[in-house]
Amino acid sequence: MTKTELLEIILNGENSGTEFKRDTIQNHVLAKELVAFSNFKGGRILLGVEDDGSVVGITRPNVEEWVMTTCRDKIRPEIIPYFEVIHDVEPSKDIAVVTVEPGWTVHRRWHNNHSSYYIRVGTETREPSKEELERLFQQRGSFRLEIRPVGGSSIGDLDMRRLRDYFGRVRGQEMPKDEEELEWEELLKNTEFLNQEDDDILCTVAGLLLFSKNPNRLLPQAGIDAVAYPGTEKDYAAIEHTTLRGPLVGIFKVDGRDTILVESGLVEQAIHFVKRNTGVISDLQEGAIRVERPTYPGEAIREAIVNAVVHRDYLLSATDIELSIYADRLEIISPGRLPNSITPERMRVGCRAARNQLLKDVMRDYGYMEHMGMGIPRKIIKGMLEHNGTEPDLIEDGERFIIRLWKERKK
């Protein structure tokens, strides 16, 4: 970092990624700030700068050794920051810059034989709430919400018809008889659809989402808020507004060589909503022959819906997935940030990382998702380009992820 770059940073003041400190602070205070940055998106501490941006310079002898010792002794797991000193920022006043990258795991401060977690919120460093900490562990891949037991649930909440369809037809394996509850409990615990907590055997989040008779009784966020608007903006006078509820998967039966849908799951309900609110488009082909095609390609719609229900953040308990149809576009909004360092740009080229791996595996078993994990580049992006020449929008907007499909090319 050059002196000019540093002075510009100081001029801009403290923010989500920059903190000013004197080097006379105690080591546990420095550790607290570094932990918060590591648990966020990374950041830097300028040692030798007051909160108001005035330069006082570093005064501590062996400041680099002090910083590195703090990172080793006061942070779990320890971190190794990038350290540099910018000399003569003002006459005879040096500034030490301590930079940390986003952690691959969740870091905590260790002080007085006690662990404390911290996060960065704007210009403040604070302890996270229980929900924020759970989400942080989930983002770092250290916590699997989908296999967490759900209080108040039991094997009786699961739909035996769906379980028989999955283990018998989809997986092709031997199953216990319906009345053999202990054997079913063992099978479902081994496949992580049930989990034991103390003396209770409870359904996991994944078990309820996939196979429950009524997932929303215990997981109110397990649904899709579907709206069709007449124009290009939200409007109280919607064409149709409904809340879709039910387990993710449908019930199927085999009739000869055909597999027939017997009862829709949440995915089928959403697909049917799109079909009845979009219709077809007539194109004039060679020879004045008019050919009808759906407004949006079926595979792109299916992939976008499945992507939403599989990868959304189910820790956000007050928010449904949003499915919105406008006169010029279709939007599917999933609650939560993208998981595990995934970005929209990386998704476009097929980079894969699952927040809910068990949900992903089961949906692949059913054929809702392809086993290559290339649904977004192959089915959504390529599908829309081939269908009407439009490029889908993939947008991470704060605590939500948006897939936007366009009805036609913009004029």
Do 323 and 230 have their domain in common?
A: yes
Domain boundary (99, 128, 157) is at 128
- Residue at token pair 């350290």: 83
pLDDT of residue 290: 67
Do 47 and 175 have their domain in common?
A: no
Do 274 and 369 have their domain in common?
A: yes
140 falls within a domain? no
pLDDT of residue 289: 65
Do 253 and 389 have their domain in common?
A: yes
Range of the domain at 255: 223-406
62 falls within a domain? yes
Domain boundary (181, 213, 245) is at 213
Do 328 and 227 have their domain in common?
A: yes
Q: Could you list the pLDDT tens digit for every one of the 411 residues in the chain?
A: 899 999 999 999 999 999 999 999 999 999 999 999 999 989 999 999 999 999 999 999 999 999 999 999 999 999 999 999 999 999 999 999 999 998 878 999 999 989 999 999 999 999 999 888 888 887 776 667 898 899 899 999 999 999 999 999 999 999 999 899 999 999 999 999 999 887 899 999 999 999 999 999 999 999 999 999 999 999 888 999 999 999 999 999 888 888 899 999 999 999 999 999 998 776 656 555 666 788 999 999 999 999 999 989 888 877 899 999 999 999 999 998 887 667 888 888 877 667 888 999 999 999 998 766 678 899 999 999 999 999 999 999 888 999 999 999 876
Q: What predicted TM-score, i.e. pTM, was given to this entire model?
A: 0.70
pLDDT of residue 287: 58
Domain boundary (179, 213, 247) is at 213
218 falls within a domain? no
Do 25 and 49 have their domain in common?
A: yes
Number of domains the chain contains: 3
Do 264 and 336 have their domain in common?
A: yes
Do 325 and 383 have their domain in common?
A: yes
